[in-house]
Amino acid sequence: MPIPTNPYQPYAKLHENPAGPGDKRPTTTQVLQDEGLLDGGLKDKVYLVTGCSAGLGAETARALHNAGGDVYMTVREAKKAEGEKIIKDIKSTSKGSGKLELVFMDLTVFDSVRAGAADFLKRSPTLNVLVENAGVMAPAYSKTSAGYELQLGTNHFGHFLLFQLLKDRLLASATPSNPSRVVIVTSAGHQFSPIRFSDMNFDKAGDYDGYTAYGQSKTANIYMASSIERHYAARNLHATSVHPGAIWDTDIKRHQSVELVDSTFDMSLLEPLMKSVEQGASTQVWAATAEHFRDKGGLYLSETGVAGPHPEGAHMAIGGYVGHTYDEEAEERLWRLSCEVFGVGED
């Protein structure tokens, strides 16, 4: 997609001089209020959000349901108790009366993705927005049941398969006046690595680095959103990718110690950039609901705005775009490869 030369950043002023979680940067509530959606504005809209056992996924589900949406939350079956607890907590304060239901799905197991998608399709004749939020970050080297490096297999291939399984429902639910959307949660960590097409699986002995693998998977998230936009915008389906910001209070940190994060990211510089979960979820809720994205996509978002170029010398967490963020040739190469993995057509 074209690199944005004049990025839309309606909350830029609020991101000046950040002061840590709970500062003046926008929350999901502010975003929905500014869009005029807080009082039932999402009624009759159907959302599927992955990775809802904690953190950003749970907060995204909370915000969408509070504004009237029907929300389906994916969790692994092993996290059923956590998911049920979150549903109870959301319902205790939500103003919405829409559906709020769990869908069991493990993105590392393709048969589980297929089963979860089939379960959702039986339950809902409509899908307006798919939020692909789940993720894993910097674990020790391992592979999925299908033989893919864990982060690429989970963050990209699992979500790619889910999109393919739900694509027809998204397209059938779309109209010119009410297009469908896909929001894919990526990260400023995509700066760690482009797609390593020569060795995506880190099969060479001693070659694995958790953050490099994470960066590759997050670049793949951006490329997938750009390719969806390129292939389906004409059919009223749009996609964006979103960097939520630096949030420590999420499940994605489960493979990392504070010491590892500090040595990688320099916590003294990172601390003022940190966000609360409600602030972190604001960009993906904005992408999923804002009128601005009703008929456009193929954009990488950060700080509740369309990301501009990454400022020279700035901390990675700010989340601007870098040289490989927009790369049509690499995007389409990954798209073709992913379609081949699952034996699906390119359009």
The pairing of beta strand 129-132 with beta strand 305-306: unpaired
Residues 6+ apart with CB under 8 A from 102: 52, 72, 73, 74, 75, 80, 83, 84, 87
Q: Contacts for 248-251 with beta carbons within 8 Å, 24 or more apart?
A: 248/274, 249/55, 249/276, 249/277, 250/54, 250/55, 250/56, 250/277, 250/280, 251/51, 251/53, 251/54, 251/55
Residue 212 DSSP code: H
The residues that bridge with 149 in the sheet, in sequence order, are 143
Residues with a known catalytic role: 214
Task: Please give the helix or strand (H or E) that residue 58 lies within, else none.
Answer: helix 55-66
CA distance 156 to 293: 23
Look up tokens 């939350």; give the residue: 73
